[in-house]
Amino acid sequence: MTKIYNPGLLPTSRRNVLRGSVLAGAAAMTGGTAFAAQRRAPLPKTHAPMAYFTQAADQQTAAESAPADLTGFTRVKQELVAPPFAPAHEQVATGGPKIIEITMETTEVLMVIDEDTGAEVWALTYNGSVPGPLIICHEGDMVELTLRNPSESQMEHNIDFHASTGALGGGGLTHVYPGEETVLRWKATKAGCFTYHCAPGGAMIPYHVTHGMNGAVMVLPRDGLKDAEGNALTYDSIAYIGEQDYYLPKDENGDYKTYEVAGEDYADSLDAMRTLIPTHSVFNGAVGALTGDGALRAKVGETVLMIHNQANRDSRPHLIGGHGNYVWETSFTTPPLKDVETWFVRGGTAMASMYTFEQPGVYAYVNHNLIEATLLGAAAHFVAEGEWDNNLMEQVVAPRAFEA
């Protein structure tokens, strides 16, 4: 069985990922849960699997409506990159509105999420990473996504963009079965950071989300970020952090169970999810993904925009030894909070905080439910280089014995 680590953390081979899926597919046909065999055939769009969840599929279809007015839009491609990195982008938009073309694949990969215990999960992903890639556009742009489900997949997938309007965030229009692709175009009408996630229907929604199938879109104001007084705020780099709660099934001995193929853990996972107590809450897919060799890097004087995504649960990030100089918990339309010690991530949200590093050293970026940070894995490190400023802090007396 091929096990992979999150791309962006360790080199991974696309071929290995696919081979893992192929082997898994073979295993499914010879035993275990043959998800592919049980999956029903694709249904007409008007009878999409989400129909019971909403009336969207029964309403007027796009084909019966006036075509979109694409006059004045320029087409550009955005090359998506693995977290914690951000795609190339402008902070202040130049030129007119864009149609931003992106491609994502719904890959199912066996991912080790804790090297110490060997805990693993058949992660359901966009482009093979947890979280899925960060997408960046400006308000007024359109995002045109080609969503591809590899034929090796076991399951159907789709995508709900919280940044979009209509059809369950696109979820009702993007159901793709293995071997299918679809193209969805939506207009970014709200500025802010927004989560996106898979939402196939019913209990499959939290199952896919808690198997890693979520990520973030940042919709910047066309004239960039501003403080409450309207002064421009710019950043030198982005740290894209996805917080992921996993609910891994255990056997009668308390050991994590293993599975041969994506989806085989479905029944066990429902039982584990029903406890509402995650076995892991990690940043970027795995325990320690953003510490050690994977630590985030900064320099004194550098301004970092930290984008935090949590598609399922509340969180409360805190930068130990630093602050959120500006924090946008909801949208970029609302002026940012200033000088915040700990900020709040509403479950089902992506949000942004901005900090300019003033001292060198290691900063822990944690979920300040410190039990989750230390026992469940919700911790990252920033390593800042630069010169220490004794005006800000100085160890006046090193620890020493004192006379009673």
Write out the residues near Cu ion by the rule CB under 5 A. 124, 157, 198, 208, 213
User: At closest approach, how far in Å is the CB of 198 from Cu ion?
Assistant: 3
Question: Considering 137, 198, 351, 354, which one is annotated as catalytic?
Answer: 198
User: At closest approach, how far in Å is the CB of 246 from Cu ion?
Assistant: 15
User: At closest approach, how far in Å is the CB of 339 from Cu ion?
Assistant: 39
Question: Considering 175, 318, 323, 381, which one is annotated as catalytic?
Answer: 318
Q: Is 280 a catalytic residue?
A: no
Q: Is 108 a catalytic residue?
A: no
Q: Which is nearer to Cu ion, 162 or 208 (CB)?
A: 208
Q: Is 160 a catalytic residue?
A: yes
State which residue has the least CB distance to Cu ion: 198
Q: Is 394 a catalytic residue?
A: no
Q: Which is nearer to Cu ion, 155 or 306 (CB)?
A: 155
Q: Which is nearer to Cu ion, 123 or 213 (CB)?
A: 213
Q: Is 181 a catalytic residue?
A: no
Question: Considering 162, 308, 323, 381, which one is annotated as catalytic?
Answer: 162
Q: Is 138 a catalytic residue?
A: no
User: At closest approach, how far in Å is the CB of 78 from Cu ion?
Assistant: 22
User: At closest approach, how far in Å is the CB of 46 from Cu ion?
Assistant: 22
Q: Is 103 a catalytic residue?
A: no
Question: Considering 157, 308, 323, 381, which one is annotated as catalytic?
Answer: 157
Q: Which is nearer to Cu ion, 161 or 355 (CB)?
A: 161
User: At closest approach, how far in Å is the CB of 15 from Cu ion?
Assistant: 22
Q: Is 342 a catalytic residue?
A: yes
Q: Which is nearer to Cu ion, 208 or 313 (CB)?
A: 208
Q: Which is nearer to Cu ion, 141 or 156 (CB)?
A: 156
| Separation between Cα atoms, residue 25 and residue 124, nearest integer Å | 15
Question: Considering 108, 139, 160, 265, which one is annotated as catalytic?
Answer: 160
Pairing between β-strand 280-283 and β-strand 237-246 as defined by DSSP bridges: antiparallel
Q: Is 175 a catalytic residue?
A: no
Question: Considering 54, 181, 358, 368, which one is annotated as catalytic?
Answer: 368
Query: What residues act catalytically?
Result: 157, 160, 162, 197-198, 208, 213, 318, 341-342, 368
